[in-house]
């Protein structure tokens, strides 16, 4: 480690301890020292992550590795307690349920022509789950493909119906909009012309944009025909509509991200430094 790095590290440690002590003096309660430590640590980790904007550095690496390690362990625990203990154990065994302190949900599955005990059915995921671990044994490693095939196949089948219903059928029926709204001739239209949001012109224009946008967008995503001639022009309109939509979405999402930044800065200036109230 270079001398400069050591000096910077020493200064950072000094500031950390100083901040901890000063913060502890401002917090009331029995856990003042512990709370002050946590607030200071959170602030320093926030600053460490933010230091990545300057360049990659040791403090960022520390925060990154801490975050990855803690979160990986956390998700492993969540997976065990919510999936295995929360879902599997209560349906598998009364004794195990008692041991883990979860209510036993055992019973029978009635198929009409066949009645099966619950635990029997739940041996299927246990077996498939065990197959995934067979990757560790090269001789039977090929068995780990079975649960993967089951997962991919099941979700492909489930999503086919879901997407066909929501993203295909519903979209089509929702696009059946009249291009003329409250139409009583051109005379009436121009006599009552208004740019009000609930006016006739805006309603008609909105419907026209929906209709053209959907049809031209579909043409852009049509891969069986070369985009030339009239088809190509419609495709260009489609991509323009997409880009305008993306532009609007960009601005909207950036505003959301700014609010996240504000939240983090509020933590630093309010909870840590106490500069703002």
Do 40 and 25 form a contact (C-beta atoms < 8 A)? no
- The pair phi, psi for residue 93, each rounded to 5°, is -150, 140
CB atoms within 10 A of CB 118: 15
Q: What gap in Å lies between CA 178 and CA 204, rounded to an integer?
A: 8
Selected from 7, 77, 169, 265, the binder of other proteins by CB under 8 A is 169
Of residues 195-234, those binding other proteins (CB under 8 A): 211, 214-215, 218-219, 221-227
Of residues 231-250, those binding other proteins (CB under 8 A): 242-243, 245-247, 249-250
Q: Residue 205 to residues 73, 174, 179, 237: CA-CA distances in angstroms? A: 54, 16, 8, 16
Do 125 and 88 form a contact (C-beta atoms < 8 A)? yes
Estimate the crossing angle of helix 32-50 against helix 3-26, to 10 degrees.
140
CB atoms within 10 A of CB 48: 20
Would you count residue 50 as binding other proteins (CB under 8 A)? no
Query: Which residue lies nearer to other proteins by CB, 41 or 49?
Result: 49
Region near other proteins per CB under 8 A, out of 32-40, 115-123, 173-181, 266-274 = 173-181
Binding mask 110-149 for other proteins (x = CB under 8 A): --x-------------------x--x--------xx--x-
Contact residues: other proteins, CB under 8 A: 49, 52, 55-56, 60-61, 63-64, 67-68, 70-72, 74-75, 112, 132, 135, 144-145, 148, 151-152, 155-156, 159-161, 164-165, 168-173, 175-181, 183, 211, 214-215, 218-219, 221-227, 242-243, 245-247, 249-250, 253, 257
């Amino acid at each position: 480690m270079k001398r400069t790095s050591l000096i910077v590290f020493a200064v950072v440690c000094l500031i950390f301890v100083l901040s901890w002590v000063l913060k502890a003096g401002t917090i009331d309660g029995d856990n003042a020292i512990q709370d002050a430590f946590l607030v200071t640590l959170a602030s320093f980790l926030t600053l460490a992550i933010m230091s990545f904007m300057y360049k990659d550095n040791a403090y960022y690496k520390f925060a990154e590795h801490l975050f990855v390690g803690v979160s990986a362990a956390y998700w492993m625990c969540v997976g065990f307690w919510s999936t295995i203990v929360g879902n599997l154990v209560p349906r598998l065994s009364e004794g195990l349920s008692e041991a883990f302190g979860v209510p036993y949900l055992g019973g029978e599955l009635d198929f009409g022509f066949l009645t099966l005990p619950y635990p029997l059915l739940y041996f299927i995921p246990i077996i498939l789950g065990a197959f995934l671990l067979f990757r560790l044994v090269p001789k039977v490693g090929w068995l780990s493909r079975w649960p993967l095939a089951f997962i991919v196949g099941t979700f492909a089948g489930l999503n086919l119906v879901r997407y066909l219903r929501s993203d295909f059928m519903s979209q089509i029926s929702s696009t059946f909009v009249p291009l003329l709204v409250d139409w009583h001739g051109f005379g009436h239209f121009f006599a009552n012309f208004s740019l009000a949001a609930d006016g006739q012109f805006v309603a008609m224009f909105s419907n026209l944009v929906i209709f053209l946008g959907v049809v031209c967008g579909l043409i852009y995503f049509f891969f069986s025909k070369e985009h030339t001639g009239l088809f190509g022009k419609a495709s260009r309109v489609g991509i323009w509509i997409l880009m305008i939509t993306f532009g609007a979405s960009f601005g909207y999402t950036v505003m959301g991200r700014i609010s996240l930044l504000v939240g983090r800065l509020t933590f630093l200036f309010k909870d840590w430094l106490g500069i703002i109230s």
